[in-house]
């Protein structure tokens, strides 16, 4: 989806810049071209994209430029599913992940640890 957005921005920016270039306004054409390149770079960058990894210690949430955050398995409290995806709550944070992106292994492990935490 991000690649399609970047392509659309390139086409629109290129058309606008070409129009200014044909009218003889090189300054605006260069400005629009540079602006289009910057917008495409921001669209394709990984700024703010949540990366989820897990190990024996817990779930690590990393969203650049923030520092990675660790949710321990014993702190997991609740998991719920709605139209947006899975919402996982812990004592010291929460996160959501789309249903079609959630790995089956991670979902099984989250449910297992929540079950163990509610019994204790």
* 50-119 maps to CATH 2.30.29: yes
Q: Where are the beta strands (DSSP E) in the chain?
A: 50-54, 58-63, 69-72, 76-82, 85-90, 93-97
Would you state the structure tokens that stand for residue 30, as one six-digit string? 């260069």
Our CA dihedral for 91, 95, 96, 102, rounded to 10 degrees, sits at -90
Smallest CA-to-CA distance from 64 within 43, 48, 53 is with 48
10-residue block means of pLDDT along the chain (120 residues)? 92 97 96 96 82 90 86 91 90 87 89 86
pLDDT of residue 8: 96
Q: How many CA atoms lie within 13 A of 53 on its CB side?
A: 6
pLDDT of residue 120: 63
Enumerate the domain spans of the chain.
Answer: 2-44, 50-119
Residue with tokens 């989806």: 1
């Amino acid at each position: 989806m991000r690649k399609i957005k970047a392509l659309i921005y390139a086409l629109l920016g290129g058309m606008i810049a070409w129009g200014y270039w044909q009218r003889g306004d090189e300054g605006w054409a260069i400005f629009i071209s540079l602006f289009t390149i910057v917008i495409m770079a921001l669209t394709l960058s990984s700024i703010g994209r949540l990366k989820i990894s897990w190990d024996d210690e817990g779930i690590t949430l990393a969203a650049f430029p923030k520092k990675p955050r660790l949710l321990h398995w014993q702190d997991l409290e609740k998991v719920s599913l709605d139209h947006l995806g899975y919402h996982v709550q812990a004592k010291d944070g929460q996160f959501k992940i789309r249903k079609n992106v959630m790995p089956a292994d991670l979902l099984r492990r989250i449910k297992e640890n929540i079950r163990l935490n509610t019994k204790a």
